[in-house]
Amino acid sequence: MVEPAVNRDTILGWLADVPDPEIPVLTIMDLGIVRDVECDTGVVVSLAPTYSGCPATEVIESSVIAALEDRGIANVTVKRVLSPPWTTDWISDVGREKLREYGIAPPERGGSKRALLQGQRRISCPRCASENTELVSEFGSTACKASYRCVDCLEPFEYFKCI
């Protein structure tokens, strides 16, 4: 098989179609986990896992390889990048809006767990935008989310935790 001539921008465009397996409304580009793409003798995609124990990391790596192989790239390597560590600040504005529309409150920019636990930040309900919300559980459907409830509209929702 003859590999097509590709460049970094083409690969990044293709990666914009690779969904996150835990929150499929987001792509890996929305999450900001694609750190670099090199196109020399094959393609090397550098990815930063959202956290070291994320169970989706290997699925994402396999999805990247499959997405590029489906487009005729046979020599694909995924490099896991741990430094600098991924932060929720890397989620794109488009990704944050997708989360909100999906019913998940996006993480605050520059937020920290300490600020959230000390009550310095209010989490807005993704449905009605009220800040009159309360933490139900620090643990949601995945380790990266917490369960909240809106006191005004009474709807439960998840909050994508700041990392």
Domain containing residue 39: CATH number: 3.30.300.130
Q: Is residue 127 in a domain?
A: yes
pLDDT tens digits, residue range 45-87? 999 999 888 889 999 999 999 999 999 998 999 999 999 999 9
Check pLDDT > 90 for residue 1: no
- On whether residue 67 sits in a domain, the answer given is yes
pTM of the model: 0.86
Of 80, 113, 131, the position where a domain reaches its end is: 80
110 is in which domain, residue-wise? 104-160
Q: What is the mean predicted confidence (pLDDT) over 108-125?
A: 67
- 66 and 17 share one domain: yes
Picking from 80, 96, 121, the residue at the C-terminal end of a domain is 80
State both tokens at 112. 């920290």
CA distance to 78, 108, 137, per residue, from 18 (Å): 14, 24, 30
Same domain for 119 and 63, yes or no, is no
Among 70, 77, 91, residue whose Cα is nearest residue 14: 70
Q: Are residues 109 and 66 in the same domain?
A: no
* Paired sense of beta strands 104-105 and 76-80, if any: unpaired
**pLDDT value at residue 111:** 58
